């Protein structure tokens, strides 16, 4: 009889797409499979194979299972649908869209036989320069939690495992293997862990990915607090905890501290390291068994062993999912400035449109790195506008700026460039000296074995031909470092350890005939040279056709910001716009007062130089493959913008509360002793990044200090107007009880539109310091002109709680709370007091 029950249970799971709950039948089957395995076979299952697969075990009928990188699309296995994901998803503030996005990604995965989707990424956007912010969501734990739960539910409903990443505190990309995110438990619990908690306890994600970084000095993949105490203990996670690719550093420590699956291969959790460790008692075999059971149990719940993952009903190229991609782009694009109501544009008055800039064409669906999806047919802003307006409108395109190499090659250095190559990394000894005419040096020659140190110094001068601003730009590659000095002052430097880098630039104000002495010191990481420096007079930097097009157009759209080469995995990005783009915007605005700026990027960026010179500013984040269509529909009023900022927009990088702490203090560095792949001790130098900003992340900092960012969290303009009224909050409530809050939202304008009603809670009577306000509820409301909707939001106990470090639990202090409702963190016209008893 038990055999018959087991067969029925497994037959149901095979027919269903969504995973079935764990059951005694599945548990018995998993234990039965485990019982036939040798210790060697069990250990083999703990590592991946062929980069993107789990290990097969034919003796128990277990095939290998397929994975794919994610975030904006199922990107590993060829062209795909590229969605507005990550930060763009957060800008929608739309739970329903998050679910629909998850379902679409699930269908795309099934069409490619993918079992594990390596997403979503849900780390907090602590700083605007974080290289993978565009993959993540927002600066707020409540917003992240509210969106990740339906996303996971949608994805897993299609029979695909969601892998929530990167657990935990992966808030910067520089030196990510050796950087430790150090903070107190309260900050961790209130800011950086809630979205992971919601993903596990509410979304029921069946896989979690540990991050590269250390947390409080311990690698995430072997961190007992994160993996055993919190994830598998307090949150009751029953699924698979895997490493990020090559994020495992010690096989025994990882095995003992919760890691179940080492990807992409078992460099550490292998027979060589673990067999002897089990035999001599350093690792318990029961710990190995638990890992294998998690793998088997999860795969049985999804029916992976009983049905093919490929579903021919799911199209590889999906027209249905193109509509989902367009919806995400339309809902996420955020209007930040619209002086004199220039938008929406009247097609009858815009017969010549100049679309200028590096991001105008080709399309920029997403950022770079492992999330970079290749779309079948991405729509650029140029083609999106032309497609919408048809043959009667002239669309003129120019990139606006030359290539970086052209700038460097065209720089007229006075007397040429002296290049000195030193036989060490210290610019000492007798150098090999050569003479050239430019600093655009790409030499692959070997100087000796890998790691042979060299240093290269370039010395030259530049004379200004006219008075004005000159752009100085430098670029290297990989982990190279450099420093550029102008008249003895360091003006550009790349001094952080990263797996990649982007060009850096600055402006020099020079008088006509002024000569500047330039010295560039370059430290190549690999045995070759990959370095360039150039300088250009800003008015001459702008391409001539861009100026001509802008002057003759009825309206100019300038598309600037970042792309897959300037923002992505392995390195952080700049807060400044990429080189030359400020000058380009200024030139277009000078040529045509009807200039619209469309920004692309994973968060805030510096726009102060030209913001008051343009009437319209739009942020399209990374809008996916349909971004060009969505931008066109918003510019010409076919769709009313409804995106809202998921991050606070700083005026300058120095204004961000994380900036004093971001790179850490070298005096805090320590040495970590671990065991290498050969079983021998290995020492790692750990950079400790102390999160001295603590709870003061994003709007929590701005509202607590009374200072103001350029644009506040939750902000976004519409082509219509809204009002809030009739706030109803009970005057008292019992601690721990659910508190209903209701209010009305009215469309007071003449166009259908969407408002995001945001609810913040303040706790002025708390016994500890708390942020002045925190988001604890929101509702996206779609309204016709004149329409009013009544909204009710329920606040649970967590909405009023803080983490008490003494008692290690969530705590509510009785006393006064303030409920605030509005449309941004700084605009909350409705306020009411509540006494918690």
Q: Which residues are catalytic?
A: 244
Pairing of strands 468-475, 504-510: antiparallel
E strands present in 423-554:
432-436, 439-443, 455-463, 468-475, 481-486, 489-494, 504-510, 515-523, 529-537
Tokens linked to 394 = 């002239």
Cα separation, 355 vs 361, whole angstroms: 9
CB 617 within 8 Å of CB 599: yes
Cα separation, 659 vs 692, whole angstroms: 10
Report phi then psi at 749, rounded to 5.
Answer: -105, -160
Cα angle 13, 14, 19 (rounded to 5 degrees) comes to 45
Cα separation, 339 vs 264, whole angstroms: 51
Tokens linked to 209 = 């990915």
β-bridge mates for residue 816, sequence order: 835
Report phi then psi at 388, rounded to 5.
Answer: -70, -40
Edge-to-edge strands of the sheet including 815-822? 732-733, 830-836, 815-822, 753-762, 774-783
Q: How far is residue 591 CA from its own chain's centroid?
A: 35
Cα separation, 496 vs 482, whole angstroms: 10
Tokens linked to 533 = 């420096």
Cα angle 132, 134, 137 (rounded to 5 degrees) comes to 105
DSSP class of residue 764?
A: T
DSSP class of residue 570?
A: T
Other beta carbons within 10 Å of 403? 10
Number of H-type helices and E-type strands within the chain: 20, 36
| Residues 95, 98, 694, 368, Cα dihedral to 10° | -160
């Amino acid at each position: 009889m038990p055999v018959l029950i087991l067969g029925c249970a497994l037959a149901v799971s095979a027919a269903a797409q969504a995973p079935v709950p764990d059951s005694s039948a599945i548990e018995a089957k998993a234990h039965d499979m485990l019982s036939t395995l040798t210790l060697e076979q069990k250990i083999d299952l703990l590592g991946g194979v062929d980069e993107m697969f789990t290990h097969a075990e034919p003796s128990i009928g277990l095939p290998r299972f397929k994975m794919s990188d994610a975030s904006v699309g199922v990107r590993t296995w060829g062209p795909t649908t590229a969605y507005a994901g990550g930060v763009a998803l957060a800008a929608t503030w739309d739970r329903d869209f998050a679910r629909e996005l998850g379902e679409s990604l699930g269908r795309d995965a099934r069409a490619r036989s993918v079992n594990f989707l390596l997403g979503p990424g849900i780390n907090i956007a602590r700083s605007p320069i974080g290289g993978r912010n565009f993959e993540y969501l927002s600066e707020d734990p409540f917003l992240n939690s509210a969106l990740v739960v339906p996303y996971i539910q949608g994805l897993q409903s299609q029979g695909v495992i969601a892998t929530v990443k990167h657990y935990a505190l992966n808030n910067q990309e520089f030196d990510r293997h050796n950087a430790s995110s150090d903070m107190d438990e309260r900050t961790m619990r209130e800011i950086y862990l809630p979205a992971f908690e919601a993903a596990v306890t509410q979304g029921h994600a069946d896989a979690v990915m540990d991050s590269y970084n250390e947390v409080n000095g311990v690698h995430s993949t072997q961190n007992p607090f994160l993996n055993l105490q919190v994830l598998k203990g307090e949150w009751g996670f029953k699924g698979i905890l895997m490493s990020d690719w090559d994020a495992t550093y010690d096989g025994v420590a990882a095995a003992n501290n919760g890691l179940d699956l080492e990807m992409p291969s078992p460099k550490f959790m292998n027979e060589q390291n673990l067999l002897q460790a089990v035999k001599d008692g350093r690792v318990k075999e029961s710990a190995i068994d638990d890992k294998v059971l998690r793998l088997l149990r999860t795969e049985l719940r999804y029916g992976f062993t009983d049905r093919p993952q490929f579903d021919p009903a799911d199209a590889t190229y999906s027209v249905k999912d193109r509509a989902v991609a367009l919806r995400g782009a339309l809902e996420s694009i955020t209007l930040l400035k619209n002086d004199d109501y220039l938008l929406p544009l009247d097609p009858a008055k815009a017969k010549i449109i100049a679309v200028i800039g590096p991001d105008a064409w080709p399309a920029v669906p997403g950022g770079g790195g492992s999330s970079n999806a290749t779309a079948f047919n991405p729509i650029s802003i140029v083609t999106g506008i032309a497609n919408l307006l048809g043959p009667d409108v002239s669309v003129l395109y120019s990139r606006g700026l030359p290539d970086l190499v052209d700038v460097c090659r065209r720089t007229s250095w006075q007397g040429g460039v002296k290049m000195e190559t030193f036989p060490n990394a210290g610019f000492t000894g007798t150098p090999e000296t050569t003479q050239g005419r430019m600093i655009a040096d790409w030499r692959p020659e070997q100087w000796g074995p890998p790691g042979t140190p060299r240093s290269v110094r370039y010395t030259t001068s530049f004379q200004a031909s006219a008075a004005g601003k000159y752009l100085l730009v430098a670029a290297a590659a990989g982990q190279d470092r450099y420093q550029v000095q102008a008249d003895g002052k360091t003006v550009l430097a790349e001094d952080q350890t990263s797996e990649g880098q982007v060009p850096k630039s600055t402006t020099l104000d020079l008088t006509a005939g002024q000569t500047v002495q330039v010295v560039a010191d370059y430290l190549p990481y690999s045995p070759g040279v990959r370095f360039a420096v150039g300088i250009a007079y800003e008015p001459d930097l702008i391409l001539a056709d861009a100026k001509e097009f802008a002057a003759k157009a009825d309206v100019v759209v300038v598309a600037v910001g970042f792309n897959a080469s300037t923002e992505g995995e392995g390195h952080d990005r700049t807060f400044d716009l990429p080189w030359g783009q400020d000058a380009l915007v200024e030139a277009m605005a000078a040529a045509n007062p009807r200039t619209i700026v469309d920004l692309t990027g994973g968060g805030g960026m510096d726009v102060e130089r030209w913001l008051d010179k343009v009437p319209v500013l739009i942020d399209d984040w990374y809008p996916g493959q349909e971004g060009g269509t969505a931008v066109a529909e918003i510019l010409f009023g076919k769709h009313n913008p409804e995106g809202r900022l998921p991050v606070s927009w700083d005026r300058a990088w120095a204004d961000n509360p994380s900036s004093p702490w971001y790179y850490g203090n070298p005096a805090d560095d320590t040495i970590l002793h671990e065991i290498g792949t050969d079983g021998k001790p290995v020492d790692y130098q750990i950079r400790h990044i102390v999160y001295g900003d603590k709870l003061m992340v994003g709007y929590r900092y701005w509202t607590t200090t009374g200072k103001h960012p350029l644009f506040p969290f939750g902000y976004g303009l519409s082509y219509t107007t809204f009002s809030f009224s009739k706030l109803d909050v009970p005057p008292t409530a019992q601690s721990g009880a659910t508190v209903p809050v209701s209010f009305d939202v009215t469309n007071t304008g003449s166009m259908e539109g969407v408002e995001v009603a945001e609810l913040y809670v303040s706790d002025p009577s708390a016994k500890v310091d708390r942020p002045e306000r925190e988001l604890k509820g929101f509702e996206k409301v779609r309204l016709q002109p004149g329409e009013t909707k009544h909204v009710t939001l329920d606040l649970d106990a967590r909405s009023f709680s803080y983490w008490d470090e003494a008692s290690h639990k969530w705590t509510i202090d009785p006393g006064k709370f303030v409920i605030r409702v509005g449309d941004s963190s700084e605009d909350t016209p409705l306020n009411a007091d509540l006494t918690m008893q």
